[in-house]
């Protein structure tokens, strides 16, 4: 070390992502594609819609390390944590994404495109790759650029969207669209607590099974879907918070209540008007009237100027749209009230 320098003078040397997926540590045996036992599978109870892709997900936490869960809505993962997510269309692996924490305040993203022989996947350039799999006639799955990855994952601090208390809850929502069953060995919230992999949790948080409360089972599933698919952008901490649309579920100040999501959607005029609605009648959610509900209409659209989410999907999610439509229709017969902390009716 040169005179006068300190260990913190220089930026850490970060190794670039390996050229092949088989070199990332995902597999114990790259020839047979056997996943290393240290990489544990998990499945979020409210999966992100990705044009019908079948997915597998794994996480590797550094040996002996715990996730700092003092902020129940923004877990702080130890350096060295690595996530992988595999996308399969029509029975063929197409893409695997890797997400690894390389410093206390930085994550790296890498995407790998599977070779035609399905034996390995190769690193995709930072700008991504287009048209890697046709997911509907004339519509293609693109591998996102690193900037697009950060557009979804960076919201004040990088978020791991599918690995939260709610997403890992052992109390699974039976109506969650596209939900995958828990299988033996999968990571859950209860497993992380039992293994002491979550530090800083209060006794109440350790004992409380995470869930979204809704006035009906359908409402619970809709709010969970919106939180997972829309809440990474539409939340109180994002750069578009001024829009006043808050769909992300939080466990902190408001407990398990979904007051934010209900209060900022039901009967609210919003900033985007339904094109064919009479002047002044468009609402984010118009109780009993799906056709006047901007939230639904934008989720139905796949026009670049109006679709939601704006990236990551080229095919509308029919199963979720049917669920949201049923919820809006039912709202016409319900009192226009949102739950308040401690008073929500549990949707069993």
- 34-64: pLDDT as tens digits: 999 999 999 999 999 999 999 999 999 999 9
Spatial contact of 176 and 46, defined as CB atoms under 8 Å apart: yes
**Burial of 131: CB neighbours in 10 Å, binned 0-12, 13-18, 19+:** exposed
- Whether 296 maps to a domain, the answer reads yes
Structure tokens of 149? 């990855």
Q: Are 67 and 185 contained in the same domain?
A: yes
Shared-domain flag, residues 260 and 239 = yes
Residues 59, 196: one domain?
yes
pLDDT at 338 > cutoff 50: no
Same domain, 177 and 229: no
Same domain, 228 and 176: no
Residues 85 and 185 in one domain: yes
Same domain, yes or no, for 181 and 233? Answer: no
Number of domains, the chain: 2
Pair (249, 179) in one structural domain:
no
> Is the domain of 187 the same as that of 142?
yes
Q: Is residue 212 part of a domain?
A: no
Can the peptide bond before residue 310 be classed as cis, meaning omega within 30 degrees of 0?
A: no
Q: Is 342 among the domain residues? A: no
Distance of CA 18 to the CA centre of its chain: 25
pLDDT at 124 over 90: yes
State the burial class of residue 5 (Cβ atoms within 10 Å of its Cβ: 0-12, 13-18, 19+). Answer: exposed
Report cis status (omega within 30 of 0) of the bond before 309: yes
Q: What is the pTM of this model?
A: 0.88
| Full residue range of the structural domain in which residue 298 is found | 217-331
- Domain assignment of residue 223, yes or no: yes
pLDDT digits (tens, 9 = 90+) for 94-111: 999 999 999 998 899 999
């Amino acid at each position: 070390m040169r005179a006068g320098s300190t260990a913190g003078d220089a930026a850490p040397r970060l190794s670039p992502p390996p050229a092949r997926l088989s070199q990332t540590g995902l597999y114990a045996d790259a020839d047979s594609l056997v996943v290393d036992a240290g990489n544990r599978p998990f499945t979020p109870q409210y999966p992100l819609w990705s044009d019908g892709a079948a997915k597998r997900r794994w996480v590797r936490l550094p040996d002996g390390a715990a996730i700092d869960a003092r902020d129940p809505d923004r877990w702080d993962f130890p350096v060295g944590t690595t996530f992988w997510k595999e996308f399969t269309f029509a029975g063929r692996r197409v893409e695997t994404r890797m997400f690894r924490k390389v410093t206390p305040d930085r994550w790296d993203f890498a995407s790998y495109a599977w070779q035609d022989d399905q034996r390995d996947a190769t690193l995709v350039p930072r700008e991504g790759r287009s048209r890697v799999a046709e997911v509907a006639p004339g519509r293609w799955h693109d591998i996102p650029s690193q900037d697009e990855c950060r557009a979804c994952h960076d919201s004040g601090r990088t978020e791991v969207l599918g690995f939260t208390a709610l997403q890992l809850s052992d109390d699974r929502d039976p109506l969650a669209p596209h939900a995958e069953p828990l299988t033996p060995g999968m990571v859950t919230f209860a497993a992380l607590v039992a293994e002491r992999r979550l530090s800083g949790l209060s006794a109440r948080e350790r004992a409380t099974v995470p869930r979204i409360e809704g006035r009906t089972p359908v409402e619970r599933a809709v709010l969970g879907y919106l939180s997972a698919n829309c809440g990474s952008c539409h939340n109180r901490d994002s750069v578009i918070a001024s829009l006043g649309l808050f769909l992300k579920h939080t466990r902190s100040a408001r407990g398990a209540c979904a007051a934010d999501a209900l209060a900022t959607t039901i009967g609210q005029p919003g900033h985007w008007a339904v094109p064919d609605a009479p002047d002044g009648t468009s609402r984010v959610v118009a109780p009993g009237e799906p056709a006047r509900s901007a939230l639904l209409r934008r989720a139905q659209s796949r026009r670049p100027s109006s679709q939601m989410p704006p990236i990551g999907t080229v095919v509308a999610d029919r199963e979720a749209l049917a669920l949201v439509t049923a919820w809006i229709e039912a709202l016409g017969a319900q009192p226009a009230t949102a739950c308040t902390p401690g008073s929500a009716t549990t949707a069993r």
